[in-house]
Amino acid sequence: MIGFIRGTLVRHQPPLLLVDVNGVGYEVEAPMSTCFNLPATGTLVALHTHLVIREDQHILFGFLTEPERRLFRELLRINGVGPRLALGVLSGIGVDDFIRCVELGDAAALTRLPGIGRKTAERIIIDLRDRLGGAAMGPGQADGPMASPGDARSEALDALLALGYKAPEARRMLDRAPEEARSTEDLLRAVLRQAVPRG
Domain map (residue ranges) of the chain = 4-63, 66-132, 152-194
From residue 87, alpha-carbon distances to 12, 59, 67, 160, 195 in Å are 16, 12, 13, 25, 35
Using alpha carbons, select from 95, 89, 94, 100 the residue that is nearest to residue 137: 95
pTM of the model: 0.67
pLDDT digits over 137-185, tens only? Answer: 444 333 333 333 347 787 778 777 766 677 888 888 888 888 888 788 7
CATH of domain 4-63: 2.40.50.140
pLDDT digits over 97-147, tens only? Answer: 999 999 899 999 999 887 899 999 999 999 998 777 544 444 433 333 333
- Asked: is 152-194 a CATH 2.60.40 domain? The reply is no
In the three-class reduction of DSSP (H, G, I as helix; E, B as strand; rest coil), residue 29 is classed as strand
In the three-class reduction of DSSP (H, G, I as helix; E, B as strand; rest coil), residue 116 is classed as coil
Angle formed by the axes of helices 66-76 and 118-132, nearest 10°: 120
CATH topology of domain 66-132: DNA polymerase; domain 1 (1.10.150)
The rounded distance, in Å, linking the Cα atoms of 135 and 71 is 12
pLDDT digits over 184-199, tens only? Answer: 878 888 887 776 444 3
